[in-house]
A and B are shown apart, each in its own frame.
Chain A
Amino acid sequence: MLNDFINQVGPSTVGGLSIGAIYALIALGYTMVYGVLRLINFAHSEIFMIGAFAALFVIMKIGITGPLTGIALVGMLLLLMLVAMAASGGAAVVLEQVAYRPLRRHGAGRLAALISAIGASIFLQELFALVIIPEVFDRPSQGRIQVPVPRLLDRETLLTIGNTEIRNDHVIIIVSAVIMMVLLDVFVNRTKIGRGIRATSQDPETATLMGVNIDRVIRTTFLVGGAMAGVAALLYAMELENLRYNVGFLLGVKAFTAAVLGGIGNLRGALLGGLALGLIENWGAIFFGSEWKDVIAFTILVLVLLFRPTGILGESLQRARA
């Protein structure tokens, strides 16, 4: 048992960090929306899914069939990232307009908003399974079957430490996630609208009195959170190379777990929580087998909430208050 662990801990760590980086990027969307609206944006997982399929759509339109190299690869990844960010961010803004704003206007409560979110999530999944995958992706009556994504880059081992291979795709995922995190951190902490977001998450009423346009803040929050999910979507599609209409569900739940783990509302906490969750479930899988991965993740969530309900870094988009 212990021998197994020592043999596998290296590869598991690398794998855990790269899936953890994807969790972290999705977790940002949950954490930002939760910070501002106190709402679990249940349909965020579908925002992720939309970004992934948007990237796949462009891949198919351009007609990429084999792996790319060099400048072409970098350019293509950047283009696809922009496409996925735009699709996810746009979808998140529309979602907010359609599913949440009318409820807010009428002063409906958080349970109503959550039900609306679940409804939107079901709607979007079914829309893809029934209409978009069969029609747009030309897979008639196969809407619920996995859609393969063409290989974008060949896996190459860049560095070997012991039995641990660090591959180029791992590096791309982790580096892009960290860059996005830094950009988001700067955005929230240094810009005017970022200050508005922090103010709203602290106290929406006072923020309004101080001249913050709450509707604009909320829209921006959804846009930025959605765009981060778009980045995650592209990385996921590149790494796992297949997609499904419900690809977002489990990832979404895990990402929310990551957000809670790091301290919900806390951006750096989302990064930490995502990486920690990826590591824990991959390490746990060595002991218990990979079919228990999801159980491990949820058990961790329960344990964290029991012993430190505010997460590793504490809550709040502004600073730890708890």
Chain B
Amino acid sequence: MNANSKTHSGNPLTSFRRAVGGLSDGVRDRWAAAPGWARWTGYALLIALAVIAPHPAIGSFMAPDSHWPSLLFSPIGTFVLLAVGLNVVVGQAGLLDLGFVAFYAIGAYTMAVFGTKYGWNFWGVLIIAIFMTAISGIVLGSPTLRLRGDYLAIVTLGFGEIVRITAQNTDYIGGARGITNIPHPPTLFGVEFALDPLPYYYLLVAAVVLVVIVAKRLERSRVGRAWEAIREDEDAAELMGVPTFRFKLLAFFVGAMIGGLTGAIWASKVIAIQPPNFPFILSATILAAVVLGGSGNLPGVVIGAFLVAWLPERFRGFADYRILIFGAALVLMMALRPEGLLPARRRRNVLGNGENDAGAAATESGGTTASGDAGDKEVAK
């Protein structure tokens, strides 16, 4: 590791931070200043891009070594949807969840159990899966959300492990062997769901669009403002009359539903699921996607998830070393630009909310500057 260059020369590091930051901040500011029609065109272009993405011409560049449409479905599509879900919890409400994979697993297992044991229709089970994960979000959240941030992190990590180990030890849901022969979704508008990943990919794209719209509307609503207030300073929010516990629970609820939705769609494609499909590293990866992209900012989160899912697949040439490089990249990224590639406009200081946040405060263009420090210490007691 390049310990020396990092610790003894603050200046090159700082200037590199500025360079990276300037570029993506410029993009963000221009986007924010763009008129309505320009933004709508932007959205339309993005959706069009998602629709033509599976084309072989794009695939040959994006993933020369593997089957591109399969990658688009999983990990890329599933990561994006999971990251949008986790962003509600981590980015918007500021609750650190290290066990998000649990909701993904519950969604997948619900789909598998109802599909194989009861032979229910995909769409019916999809709704049940979302319902089940929402319940599990409340079951996990209601005792733990009274805890402060770091404890919440470790309890959610424990919850993720509990879900996985329980699946492994319960014979009713297949134990360590998992569940096989999960039925595919029924034919929809003449499109047959079978082994071809394309229909599933478009299903995911539709889910992402829907979820992003919901998340965006929530963000702009009273709920979103309450989440923002809680994230910035929970005590102050409570004093201002925000029922913090209820809104934190709602964030868990929404995030869990999105996680469950992803898991259910994924399970209907892959035919077989096993407990080792839901390791802690997946939670960590999704969290990394959210933070790398820019916690709290949807476009950033989507880009972050795309990069985290795609880069390791693109560089399959490095084969085994991908995860190693991923780990090093996380450390490096946090040193260079802890607020992510495309941080939210008003929220630059979420990640700069540390003990000595002079650096973050200096780059903050307005609004809350010094409040982070004091609030942080209160929480720490």
Q: Evaluate whether A122 and B326 lie within 8 angstroms (CB atoms) in the complex, with A112-B351, A115-B288 already known.
A: yes
Q: Is residue B350 contacting chain A, with contact meaning CB distance below 8 A?
A: yes
Residue of A nearest to B280 (CB): A249
- Whether the pair A108, B6 counts as a contact (CB closer than 8 A) is no
Q: Is B158 an interface residue (CB 8 A)?
A: yes
A interface residues, tally (CB under 8 Å): 55
List residues of chain B with CB within 8 A of the CB of A256.
154
Report the minimal beta-carbon distance from B362 to chain A, rounded to whole angstroms. Answer: 9
| Cβ < 8 Å to B, chain A residues 83-101 | 94, 97-99, 101
Query: Is A103 part of the contact surface with B, judged by Cβ < 8 Å?
Result: yes
The yes or no answer to A251 lying at the interface (CB within 8 A) is: no
Query: How far apart sit A295 and B7, CA to CA, in the bound complex (Å)?
Result: 41
A108-B352, A309-B151 as given contacts; A98 in contact with B331, CB under 8 Å: yes
- CB-CB < 8 A to B372: which residues of A? 109
Minimum CB–CB distance for A227 against chain B, Å: 20
Contact of B158 among A94, A110, A253, A321 (CB under 8 A): A253
Chain B CB within 10 A, most for which of A111, A113, A204: A111
**Inter-chain contact total with CB atoms closer than 8 Å:** 184
Partner of B351, one of A38, A101, A108, A119: A108
Interface of B is mostly: helix
State whether the Cβ of B323 lies closer than 8 Å to any Cβ in chain A.
yes
Q: Does B335 contact A (CB under 8 A)?
A: yes
A67 contacts chain B at the CB level, 8 A cutoff:
no
Given contacts A116-B330, A130-B320, A291-B169, contact A109 B13 (CB under 8 A): no
Is A306 in contact with B359, judged by CB distance below 8 angstroms?
no
> A97-B3, A116-B331, A120-B331 are known contacts. Are A302 and B158 too (CB-CB below 8 A)?
yes
- Cα A295 to Cα B158 in complex, Å, equals 8
B165 shortest CB reach to chain A, Å:
5
Is the pair B154, A260 in contact by a Cβ cutoff of 8 Å? Answer: yes
Contact A118 B154 (CB under 8 A): no
Are A122's CB and B281's CB within 8 A? yes
Report chain B residues within 8 Å CB of A301: 154-155, 158
Residues of A within 8 A of B25 (CB): none
Q: Does B34 contact A (CB under 8 A)?
A: no
The answer to whether the Cβ of A285 comes within 8 Å of any Cβ in the partner chain is no
Distance A321 CA – B378 CA, assembled complex (angstroms): 13
For A34, what are the chain B residues with a Cβ–Cβ distance below 8 Å?
A: 150
A99–B331 CB distance below 8 A: yes
B residues in contact (CB < 8 Å) with A = 1, 3, 6-7, 10, 13-14, 17, 90, 96, 143-144, 146-151, 153-155, 157-159, 161-162, 165-166, 168-169, 280-281, 284, 287-288, 291, 295, 320-321, 323-324, 326-331, 333-335, 338-339, 350-361, 372, 376, 380-381
6 residue pairs from A and B, CB less than 8 Å apart: A38-B355, A38-B380, A107-B359, A109-B354, A126-B324, A298-B158
